[in-house]
Copies of this chain bind each other. A is one copy, B any other.
Amino acid sequence: MTQKLDAIFQALADPTRRAILVMLLEDDMAVTDVAAPFEISLAAISKHLGVLTQAGLIQQERRGRVKWCKLDPSAMHDAWNWMHGFGQFDQTDLDALELSVEALLSEPTAQK
């Protein structure tokens, strides 16, 4: 597990990679489209996507000549879980937490 966390945090430590993740939050994207907003080479982006895939933060699927990238939140969740032990949540956090909980509780399938 610690090796997995190494990879996840390492992947998250780069601003370009975090920006990519945020973009993928919006929608799945092809490699070329991921690269478009950045000034670095396509090969560099390709490497970043490799790092993210290795860390399990995204999944890549090839369809034809296009390789689609989609977010995989489960790895992020592992990191989140590890950090969770450290949080003494203050009021600000509490608000966010309550919103999350309430949203889930109000879903049709949810039950107390």
Interface residues in chain A, defined as those with a beta carbon under 8 Å from any beta carbon in chain B? 2-3, 5-6, 9-10, 12-15, 18, 21, 25, 71, 73, 76-77, 79-89, 93-94, 96-98, 100-101, 104
What are the residues of chain B within 8 A of A3 when measuring CB–CB?
15
Number of copies: 2
Q: Which of B15, B71, B96 contacts A6 (CB 8 A)?
A: B15
**A-B residue pairs, 3 tightest by C-beta:** A9-B13, A10-B13, A9-B12
Q: Are B76 and A96 in contact (CB under 8 A)?
A: no
If over half of A's interface residues share one DSSP class (helix, strand or loop), that class is named, otherwise mixed; here it is helix
Q: Which of B13, B76, B101 contacts A94 (CB 8 A)?
A: B101
Q: Which of B2, B77, B101 contacts A97 (CB 8 A)?
A: B101
